[in-house]
Structures are given as C-alpha cells and as structure tokens.
Chains A and B, each alone.
Chain A
Amino acid sequence: MTDPSTSGRAAPALGIAAGVRRGDPSAAAVVQRHLEAIDEHDGVLHAFLTVLHDSALAEAAEIDRRVAAGEAAGALAGVPVAVKDNLCTRGVPTTCSSRILEGWRPPYDATVVEKLRAAGAVVVGKTNLDEFAMGSSTENSAFGPTRNPHDPERVPGGSSGGSAAAVAAGLVPMALGSDTGGSIRQPAALCGVVGMKPTYGTVSRYGLVAFASSLDQVGPITRSVLDAAALFDVIAGDDPRDSTCLERPSPRCAERCDQGVDGLRVGVLAELLDGVDPAVGARVRQAAEVLAAAGAHVEERSVPELRLGLPAYYLVAPAEASSNLARYDGVRYGLRVEADTAEAMNSATRAAGFGPEVKRRIMLGTYALSAGYYDAYYGQAQKVRTLIIDALAAAYQHADVLLGATTPTTAFALGAKVDDPWAMYLSDVCTVPSNLAGHPAISVPFGTDDGLLPVGVQVLAPALGEAVLFRAAAALEDAAPALSAPRVLAR
C-alpha cells in the first residue's frame, strides 16, 4: 500500500489511517469528530438515514486497543466510512430507501462491509439513495431527498446521492456506493468527488440488495483518487458466496497512482461529448489537453454503438429488477398490508411499499420479459451488450483508456426532472455503456461550470484495467482546476 507521506499525493482517508496506526490521532477522536460533523450538518443535507453513534465509537475503541497492543489495525484503521443503505449491515436497518423495507434489519453483513471492518474502517452510518438504486437524483428516496453540498437547492445526483454528498461535505472521507447505470459516477460528478465503478466481478455482490444483477457493482466514493484506489483494493477480491465474482490476485491499485501517463494512448469519445452541456464539454476537452501535456497520446475516437446503450440499459436493467424485486411480497419480512387473500396482500403491499419510479421500472421490466416481447426487447438488448463489448474492444486496439463526460449536465434543481422520466434517464447516457460491458470507469472532479457547480470527467478502461484507470485518473487529479468549497462543509 502506498504510504501517502512518501507519495505526496493527497489522500485524506489514508492520512487518517496512517495517523491512527501511529497512535495519533486516536480512532476514537477521529470518529467522534466525524460524528459531530454529521450531527451538525446532516440536518440540512439528509445524506444519512441511520447514524451509528454507539457502534462506531465501540469499533473505534477496539481499533485503538489494537494499536496500543501492537496488533495490526488495518489499511483503513480508524477511517470513518459511510455505507449506502442498499448494502446489508447486520442488525442495522437496511431500507434501500424504500417503505417496503422500512425497519428491516438483515441477519448478516455484506461481504464488502466485512472487508471494510477487517481493514479497520469504522462504519458510521447508512446513506440515502434513490429507492432500490433506481434513479439519478436521490429524489426517489421514500424518506426525502439528499441535497447537494455545493448548492442545497440542487440534487446530489443518484442513486448514491447520500454517499456522494456525505463525502463532498466532509462528513466522512470515504463512502461505498453502488453503480448499475452510473449511480456512483454521476453523483460523484455532481458533488465534485471521486467515484469509481469496478470491473463487473471484481467486487462481491453478496449483501448488495440486487437491482440489476448483471450490471450492479459496489465501488468507492472519496475525495481523492488515491483513497479511491485504496478503498477499491480493500473491497475487491473473490468471494465464494458470489458465483459471479472473479478469482484474481489483489489488484494493488493504490500503487499505480503515481505511475503517470507518459505514452498512454487516450481516446476522447465523441459519443460521450455530443449533446452534453457546453461547460461540461469544455472541461472534458481541457482534461484531454492536460493528459496530453503529461505525456499521453490523445486522439479523437468514435464508437457509434454506444448510442444504443441507453435504450438497451432501460430494457435490461428494469427487466432484471422486475424479477429481483418480486420477493418483496409481504410474506417474510418488511411491510405487509393485510388483505383477504395472499394474492391481494401481495398486490396491496407492493402498491403501498414501492414508490412511483420503482413501480415504473417493474412495469417496464415485466413488459420487456413478457411473452411475445422477450425477443424484441430483453433478447435484443442482451445482443446490444455484445455489440458494445465488441465495439469497445476494437476501440481499445488503438487506445489504453477512453475519456468523456460523466454526465451531460451539472447538478440540476430539486424537482426539475421528476415529471419527465426519460429526461431523468438521459443523465445516464455517458455511464451505462460501462455497466453493459462490465468495464471499469471512474469520475474525477475537474473544475466547475460557470455557476461554480462541479463537473466530473470520466475515464473508461477495458475489463480488469483498473491499474491504467487509476493512473489516468491520478494524472487528471494532479492538474484539475480547483473546485470551490461546498456551501455545506465540515471543517
């Protein structure tokens, strides 16, 4: 693991861990400070659904005991981490921001949560999301939206809006999110923080409440690229409880960040620039220049198949979701609305328990799978995935990484898109191709628009290309224009 003191690279979380391992500061002091920040600012932001004051302090005390006893305390010793509320935490409410799971306490921890704890991190709370991770603004939460720390009248993005806002506001240095169509990267871009989606299969999904099983991945949200790499290193790895998880040696991405981009071939993707806001586009071009100045070979690239990504995604993801969410039927856990028959109970429970976006996607997905429509919709969409994978493979013959916008706009106002589903879905146009292909991608904050709202720039890499992904991301971070401080910010 790269020691941030020798690297010289900003890494707030790793800095905390290094200090805690030395005994100064204590984990208890660090955690206490962050809990106070949450208490002070989260009333406005509503990034958190549950804050774990007692257990966090207990975990911190245990870290301090280990340090004092000379035992290993972990790569993330004492680092306060927020966990998106669609990741199971044993004995702690895991609601997926839905009424149908209100109060449900899983009897087990997600694998990534176990890995966090094994690395010495302290879980301080569960963050808000769009219900069942379906959305791009966190306005679909059944428990109220989260606000963007840069402008509380604007959305933080979604679906991992709570995690992104918590990190951007300095309430925690690191958070876990999940990304199915952009749900880590887009809120990271809108909140001015780093958000990364790993290669499908590199991080266990056991304990991640499923939205779209062949697209979902858990990933880091942090304030620095090195912290993101370090967190990825902690959560990545094989898991015998997840059949779709790859067996491979530890990626050690934190060591890659200082490798630079000299000679790296960068393709600027036309499809990830067309139609985006001018300010966003300008920042992407600026990012391309920065990489060139750092020694990369930058070229324009076009992968027209990527335009099929959004419609294909809005067939595949809802289809899988419609099946994954069938289990919420009022029988075994969660909300139940009583009725005269089991069938009526199911229907009434789901009507009361799901919000409109979830219902919309279940309807869409059910339709796309239904008899007579499977081939034209779901079947075709799965073939589009092949087309995208093949087209990207061809592009990667001439490029090591691809560059583009993360999302077409900066943070929009709360309420601006709630009445127009397709307008909201367009937020995902730059991010869904990586999910469909199973490729890794990262959003790095890169300046602001004219309104001082953060802009994120996206780097894409081929499957299992996290090393080159982090190299390029670090180079971008090094030369990124400054962000203004968020209006809501813990000191």
Chain B
Amino acid sequence: MAGGRLTRADAAYVARLARIDLTDEELDTYAQQLAVVLEHAAQVAALDTRGVEPTAHPLPLRNVLRADEPGPSLDRAEVLAQAPAVEDNRFRVPPILGEAP
C-alpha cells in the first residue's frame, strides 16, 4: 500500500478489519476518497519529528484512580430489554466462526 494510491484490495483489507460489508463499487469509491485525504496527510507523514514527543492527552493528568468500592449495577431487565436477541438472560448471537485471540 503505497501512500496516496490505494487499490481495491487494500480497501477490502481495511473493510474486513473494520467489519463493514462493502460492495466493489463502494470499495473503489472509498479507495479513491481515502487516497485524496492521505495525499494531504503525506505532509504530516513526511515531517521530521525527531525529538518530538507525541501528545496522547492534552492534559498533564496522572494517576486518576478510584477506590475499590462497589457501585450500582444496572437492572438486568433494563439491559436486556434493548438487546436484539436474548436467551437464558444472555445475549444471543449467531454461531461464532473464529476463535478469540
């Protein structure tokens, strides 16, 4: 995947990672649109940032902690009421093909 030029296969790989079904037409459109943005992003990629620390947070906060004390949990009925599918008080999903990593 060279910067700026995205193939349909590149877009398809990204779509699989992101778990979104896209048609071939959509893949081509997104590949092209992403390429435009990445072209502008190239100036960021090309910067000499040696010695520059990344900013993960704009705040100088450290050690934000809470005491190991129980708090309220949700009412199960309220939680399950909006679930698409429920069985045995659990969330029901179709069979899972892959293994958890």
Name the A residues within 8 Å of B3 (CB-CB). 376
Residues of A within 8 A of B47 (CB): 308, 380, 383-384
| A376→B33 CA distance, assembly (Å) | 19
Nearest-CB residue, chain A, relative to B63? A243
B61 vs chain A, min Cβ distance (A) = 7
Bound CA span A386–B21, Å: 36
Q: Does A345 contact B (CB under 8 A)?
A: yes
Q: Contact at B40–A243, with CB atoms within 8 Å? A: no
Cβ-defined contact, A386 with B94, below 8 A: no
Chain B, interface SS category: loop
| Main secondary structure on A side of the interface with B | helix
| Pair B61/A382 contact, Cβ less than 8 Å | no
**What's the least CB distance linking A165 to chain B, in Å?**
28
Name the residue on A nearest B96 (C-beta). Answer: A342
List A408-436 residues whose CB lies under 8 Å from chain B. Answer: 421-422, 425, 436
Give the bracket for the number of chain A residues in contact with chain B: 35 or more
Could you tell me if A422 and B40 are in contact, using CB atoms closer than 8 angstroms? yes
Contact with B along A304-340 (1 / 0, CB 8 A): 0000101110110000001000100111111110111
C-beta contact mask, A374-407 vs B, less than 8 Å → 1, else 0? Answer: 0011011111111101000000000000000000
Contacting A at CB under 8 A, from B19-49, are: 19-22, 26, 30, 33-34, 36-38, 40-41, 43-45, 47, 49
A343–B36 contact, CB under 8 A? no
- Of A24-32, A219-227, A364-372, which stretch is located at the interface? A364-372
Closest partner residue, chain B, to A318 (CB atom):
B37
Q: Is the CB of B34 within 8 A of A364?
A: yes
- Are A363 and B98 also in contact (CB < 8 A) when A351-B21, A387-B52 are? no
B98 and A343 form a contact (CB under 8 A): yes
CB-based nearest B residue for A375: B45
Q: With A246-B59, A344-B94, A362-B18 known to touch, is A382 a contact of B54 (CB < 8 Å)?
A: yes
B14 adjacent to A363 (CB under 8 Å): yes
Closest CB of chain B to A356's CB: distance in Å? 8
Chain B residue with minimal CB distance to A339? B94
| Selected contact of A340 from candidates B36, B58, B79, B94, CB within 8 Å | B94
Report the bound CA distance from A363 to B22 in whole Å: 11
CB closest residue in chain B, given A435: B58
Q: A214-B57, A389-B58 are in contact. Are A342 and B43 (CB under 8 A)?
A: no
Within 8 Å by CB of B64, from A243, A340, A384, lies A243
The residue in chain A whose Cβ has the minimal distance to the Cβ of B98 is: A343
**Complex contact A370–B21 (CB within 8 A):** no
Q: Shortest distance in angstroms between B62's beta carbon and chain A's nearest beta carbon? A: 11
In whole Å, how far is A1's beta carbon from the nearest beta carbon of chain B?
27
Contact B34 A311 (CB under 8 A): no
- Chain A residues whose CB sits within 8 angstroms of the CB of B79 once the complex forms: 107
Q: Are B43 and A311 in contact (CB under 8 A)?
A: yes
Interface residues of B in 39-84 (CB under 8 A from A): 40-41, 43-45, 47, 49, 52-59, 61, 64, 66, 74-75, 78-79, 82-84
Which residues in A have their C-beta under 8 angstroms from that of B55? Answer: 382-383, 385-386, 389
Which B residues are in CB contact (< 8 Å) with A322?
A: 18
Do the beta carbons of A345 and B44 come within 8 Å of each other? no
Chain B residue contacts of A214, Cβ below 8 A: 56-58
A347 and B21 form a contact (CB under 8 A): yes
Is A342 in contact with B94, judged by CB distance below 8 angstroms?
yes
B41 pairs with A311, CB closer than 8 A: yes
What string of 1s and 0s marks CB contacts (under 8 Å) between A97-137 and chain B?
00000001101000000000000000000000000000000
B58 touches A437 (CB 8 A): yes
Residues in A43-68 with C-beta less than 8 Å from chain B: none
B22 and A359: CB pair below 8 A? yes
A436 to B56, CA, bound (A): 10
Bound Cα distance A116, B68 (Å) = 29
Chain A residues with Cβ below 8 Å from B57 are: 214, 244
B15 at the interface (CB under 8 A from A): yes
Interface string of A200-238 (1 = CB under 8 A from B): 110000000000001000000000000000000000000
How many Å from the CB of A109 to the closest CB on chain B?
13
Please give the distance in Å from A453's CB to the nearest CB on chain B.
Answer: 28
Q: How far is the CB of B56 from chain A (nearest CB, A)?
A: 6
B85 at the interface (CB under 8 A from A): yes
Tell me whether A70 is interfacial, beta carbon within 8 Å: no
Asked whether, in the complex, the Cβ of B94 is within 8 Å of the Cβ of A438, the reply is: no
Instruction: Tell me, yes or no, whether A354 is within 8 Å of chain B by CB.
Output: yes
A225 CB to closest chain B CB (Å) equals 25
Which residues of chain A are within 8 angstroms of B78 by Cβ–Cβ distance? 107
B19 & A367 in contact (Cβ 8 Å cutoff): no
Closest to A309 in B: B44
Q: Give the nearest-CB partner of A386 in chain B.
A: B55
A367 touching B97 in the complex, CB below 8 Å, given contacts A201-B61, A389-B58? no
Could you name 6 residue pairs across A and B whose Cβ atoms are closer than 8 Å?
A311-B37, A315-B44, A345-B94, A351-B22, A360-B30, A422-B36
Nearest 9 A/B pairs, CB to CB: A438-B58, A382-B54, A336-B84, A351-B21, A385-B55, A383-B49, A376-B45, A243-B64, A347-B21
